[in-house]
Chains A and B, each alone.
Chain A
Amino acid sequence: MSDATSLIRLEHVYRYYGHTCALNDVSFTVGKGEVLGLLGPNGAGKSTAMQIISGNLAPSAGQVWVNGIDLLDQPTAAKAGLGYLPDQPPLYRELSVDEYLVYCARLNRIPAKQQRAAIATAKERCGLTEVGRRLIGNLSKGYQQRVGIAQAIVHSPAVVILDEPTVGLDPLQMREIRALIRELRGEHSIILSTHILPEVQAVCDRVRIISAGKLVLNDTIEGLQRRMRSSSLVVGLRRPPAVAELQGFPGVESVEALPDGTWRVHYHPERNPAEQLAAEAARRDWGLYELIPERMSLEQVFVDITRSDPTEHGVAEHSEGAAA
């Protein structure tokens, strides 16, 4: 069913918790070496989707293939190619980092001879070499998160699933973890869930937005950036002309005065008046001191997409907040 390049394949996956529908007909594939960002507001079904892919939850309907193996028919074989970091790292606080990773290596059936090397590699990648002998319970949150990631990659699985890997970390640690994710991309496929939008821009190749259990956007990062291009300019003029004159420029749709004395000019997306505006301002001595093309932030795109979704796709409202 699954071709060689897609390491993960979901087909028409549904998941119900009682009467609430947490995932509603979700299908997607993740290719080799791809980093997929799963975005969505709280309770949208991100964690549910990840739990299903990692085999922690069974879907109510639909099928999941990992590495070409059906997760429901042959769970043990499929899970051998999986590394999973849940939103709360599954750590035994009373063990030392080394003891814990040895246990994880054994659980993932790494042959005894290769365990030492596999653990050393995982520790090095996650920057844990120095804390190997410390108790996990005594480590800081950032280091615990790294141990969680080390656990997910110790057996070099084909697919790594990270559920909100940078939550609760300081900016420096976030950067390190993102760098780690970028480094892992080479040989693993990665699924990453987050609600931190710059993170998606920083590390992902593709983005899927889940809202109320449905996939509402499937795009590449470039595509998403194209959506972010807005169609307005902020213009600052020392000696502004009448509003009507600004509105008279070709392509300008409306002009609005901003509280700090500048103007926001909305224009038709294909007819950017910036150049003519600058030329005209210089010719007529309007005293142009500011001309800024505005960009929509990822937040705005995100809000637009997730808000407009229920009406567009007819997702039942009651499914909101269903997933944990």
Chain B
Amino acid sequence: MIFHIAAHELRRMFLSPLAWSVLAVEQLILAYFFLIGIDNYLVLQPRLAMMEGAPGITDLIVAPLFGDASIFLLFAVPMLTMRLVSEERRGQTLSLLLSAPVSMSEIILGKFLGVTAFFWILVLMIGVMPLSLLAGGTIDLGMYASGMFGVALLTASFVAVGLYMSTLTVQPAIAAVSTFGVLLGLWIIDWVGADRSGEYSGLFGYVSILRHYQSLLKGVFNSSDVIYYLLFIATFIVLSIRRLDADRLQH
């Protein structure tokens, strides 16, 4: 059942021009970043050749590309998650799901997986670009895989927040703005905890959604980072289920 709902969400997304335009804009912008990355690398290359233990193309092109991708996702995710529940509520299509023999958890998980699948398609499209470098050089595939894994987790976390915000309101625009606000807040929250050397510390550093991502981009696969994202996703999914269930109870 979760799968049917997810497939339906994914399908509806591709029926709307919004999804296609998000994919098109993403491809255009990130291709541009990618080319700038290559350009910079070519400028630096003579100096790198003389250095010992110099960073390779994975450090200089692939990791920054994934970093830029996360900024793009910060803007794109709220626009597609905003309609998940709020629009169904406004168009009164939610009652189709609520009067069908489907539990609240199945509805929320289906919607979550549907939108996450869409963004994973987008992440795959980003991920294919650096692979073209294999034609003329070598990239650190371990670091590449860790980066891809990081983007995938980060995207899923963004979607979970967006889904929860969408369950809170009837207005998709409010859901979008508040999702963006929460994500940006979690993005920069560790600025408070950073000391002069740029080292993160304490609670704010742990909560920051970006810190865990950066270590994955560096190719450091730390299970605590993965657990952070899984906990993050689970929290917002449980909150969404509870919120949707509360709809029936009191107004």
Contact = CB atoms under 8 A, between A and B. Distances in A.
Contacts of A179: none
A317 B8 CA distance: 46
13 contacts: A54-B99, A55-B98, A56-B95, A56-B248, A75-B103, A82-B99, A83-B99, A88-B92, A90-B92, A90-B96, A94-B15, A95-B15, A104-B100
Nearest to B94: A90
B218 interface: no
A95 B12 contact: yes
Interface in B3-23: 4-5, 8, 11-12, 15-16
Contacts of A57: 248
Nearest to B245: A58
A178 B8 CA distance: 32
B153 to A, nearest CB: 29
Contacts, number: 69
A108 interface: yes
Nearest to A148: B96
The range of chain A's interface size is 20 to 34
Contacts of A84: 95, 99
A58 B104 CA distance: 14
Nearest to B98: A56
Given A79-B100, A106-B1, A151-B96, 4 more contacts: A56-B248, A58-B248, A79-B101, A92-B93
A80 interface: yes
Interface of B: 1, 4-5, 8, 11-12, 15-16, 91-103, 248-251
B218 to A, nearest CB: 42
Interface string A28-56: 00000000000000000000000100111
Contact of A55 (B4, B99, B249): B99
A95 B96 CA distance: 15
A92 B99 CA distance: 16
A171 interface: no
Contacts of A76: 101-103
Contact of B100 (A60, A92, A94, A108): A108
A17 interface: yes
Q: Most chain-A CB neighbours within 10 Å: which of B8, B12, B15, B101?
A: B101
Contacts of A289: none
A92 B92 CA distance: 10
A17 B251 contact: yes
B167 to A, nearest CB: 15
A41 B78 CA distance: 42
Contacts of A108: 100-101
Nearest to A75: B103
A236 interface: no
Contacts of A213: none
